[in-house]
Amino acid sequence: MLLKRRRARAGARARYAAERTVDRADGRLPVSEGGGLLRKAFPEHWSFLLGEIALYSFVVLLLTGVWLTLFFKPSMTEVVYDGSYEPLLGLSMSEAYRSTVDISFEIRGGLLIRQSHHWAALVFLSAIGVHLLRVFFTGAFRRPREVNWLIGVTLFLLALVEGFAGYSLPDDLLSGTGLRIAQGIMLSIPVVGTYISMFVFGGEYPGEDVIPRLYSLHILLVPGLLLALLTLHLILVFYLKHTQWAGRGRTNRNAVGKPMFPQFVTNSTGLFFMVFGVLTLLAAVAQINPIWAYGPYRPDMVSFGSQPDWYVGFLEGSLRLMPPFETAVAGHTVMWNVLVPAVVLPGALFAVLYAYPFFERWVTGDHEEHHLCDRPRDKPVRTGLGVAAICFYAVLLLAGGNDILSYVFDVPLNLLTWVFRISLVLLPPVSFMATRRVCLALRERERERLAEGEETGELRQTLAGGYVESHEPLDAEERYVLRSRREPEPLAPAAADGDAPHVGRLRATLSEWYYGDRVDVEEPGPERESSSGELER
């Protein structure tokens, strides 16, 4: 009895202390207003985890990067190696390379942390790229999320810069070869290319300042921008609410899923530890970037079979596929064989990524808000364009290793180069047409299933002596999803307000191309009307 009274008094004191703490905090911070935020709904689907994987890879990058800064020396001062790795004894090298070798062999756990950092960078960029593809194919970039799409593309661009800067810091023969290519790209820019190269390298190549400048870029400027944009990106996700897949009870006016606390926070924390564990396991068992095998950088040498990380592999491929072509203009030589594939092409690719949400809105005339994800098959033209872009990138990525492929498969290098050149021109349009037809065929099949039902595999004999397969109706959830899609009509040829006649005709033509070939199904009846639900669950 006495023990129960003590427990009751202790519980009362704890409740009183908790109430006072919350009251005091609420007087200084928006604690009570945050209660609704903790119950915010997050829809569930595996594809929604891609952004979280990118976020947690970035967290691992920050943690391992801070540790590496304690031991790395961003200096190009020449030193003679006298460490424990015998093949390098007596070689002249920069302090940057020497400190990286020391991290790998002299500092306990250094190689594990360094390889964890590198693997995290690859996973970070991969997750951002796949996350952007998910957003593109599901139409999650449409109103009101255009700004978030622009932020995501900028994050991907900054991550490319950050990855290349970190890749170049060890000053080994492989990264030095990449810097040499980067200097050639700078020089290809007409008129100002020489000045840009002199500024970046601090004089004639290789200069003395490029590693310290890349180091400042890598640990201060770009990470700061990434942190700021990631924070803004997450704020907009909270403010605009998460997209969700169509289903009964899910509409453009609600969000159905797990509350942020405790379910979503618990699952997300578990995912973080999974990402951290997988990256650590990769660092422990899968060697990456063995700089001691490449040796220190020397301007008069190029590493054999040098391949950059995958995220800049397309740039290497574009340089290898471009035919030699130069033009002399007013005493200046314009190197089209470098300028076009290494400056114009990447600029055009990112310009298309930035502009696409506004292009699609202009073509389709769709200014409504969208909180439901599109299935890729429901937008055959958009899906076809995405697949064509992936094929274009894949050809460039493979072409970046044409020398390795030629050696491994014993194929003449010139023949392989021409195969890639032809594929770069033919494969994207062929893949676009094939993807669009597949999407339309899948939609046609769904319309048949709605009309006839699902095949059961059971046969019955007719009065005429033939055999037919019996069907059963689809379940209510699947019927709702299939019936909830209806494409709008193409825009009329008449010019829209503010459009010139020829612009209006172009817009109508593009709209007909976008919506012309389609397979519509019947509109959902009362089944859809009864599922409007509350504004948020």
- DSSP code string of 218-275: IIIIHHHHHHHHHHHHHHHHHHH---B--BTTB-TT---SEEIIIIIHHHHHHHHHHH
Specify the pLDDT at position 527. Answer: 44
pLDDT tens profile 141-150: 999 999 999 9
**Mean pLDDT (whole number) for 322-333:** 84
244 to each of 31, 63, 484, how far by Cα in Å?
28, 32, 14
Q: What is the pLDDT of residue 29?
A: 57
Residue 531, pLDDT > 70, answer: no
**In 171-221, which ranges are continuous DSSP H helix?**
173-187, 193-201, 210-216
CA angle, 389 then 390 then 396, to 5°: 90
pLDDT at 145: 93
Assigned token pair, 190: 């007409």
Q: Which residues have CB under 8 Å from 106's CB, separation 6+?
A: 83, 84
Three-class DSSP category at 207: coil
- Asked if residue 181 has pLDDT above 60, the reply is yes
pLDDT band at 35 (very low <50, low <70, confident <90, very high): low
Whole-angstrom distance, CA of residue 427 vs CA of residue 437: 15
Percent of the chain with pLDDT over 70: 91
What pLDDT score does 447 carry?
86
Q: Say which residue, 170 or 464, is predicted with more confidence.
A: 170
Mean pLDDT for 141-164 is: 95
Q: In this model, does residue 444 exceed pLDDT 80?
A: yes
- Confidence band of 22 (pLDDT split at 50, 70, 90): low
pLDDT at 308: 84
CA-to-CA distance for 53 and 251, rounded, in angstroms? 27
Q: Which of 176, 179, 205, 198 is nearest to 100 (CA)?
A: 176
Q: How confident is the model at residue 498 (pLDDT cuts 50, 70, 90)?
A: low
Q: Alpha-carbon distance 206 to 175, whole Å? A: 12
Can you give the pLDDT at residue 205?
A: 85
The answer to whether the bond into 206 is cis (omega within 30° of 0) is: yes
- Collect all residues with Cβ–Cβ distance below 8 Å to 322 and sequence separation of at least 6: 336, 337, 338, 340, 341
Kindly report the number of other CB atoms within 10 A of residue 186's CB atom. Answer: 22
Tell me what pLDDT residue 496 has.
52
* Residue 36 pLDDT: 62
What is this structure's pTM? 0.88
Residue 510 tokens, joined: 């593009």
Q: Contact 268/259 with Cβ under 8 angstroms?
A: no
Confidence (pLDDT) at 490 = 80
> Between 510 and 114, whose confidence is greater?
114
SS3 335: strand
Least confident of 111-125, 337-351, 458-472, 513-527: 513-527
| The pLDDT of residue 170 | 94
Q: What is the pLDDT of residue 330?
A: 77
The CA distance from 162 to 223, in Å, is 8
Give the CA distances from residue 51 to residues 48, 58, 120, 156, 395, in Å, rounded to whole numbers and listed in that order.
Answer: 7, 11, 14, 12, 26
Burial of 117 (0-12, 13-18, 19+ CB in 10 A): buried
At 497 the pLDDT is: 56
Other CB atoms within a 10 A radius of the CB of residue 336 amount to: 16
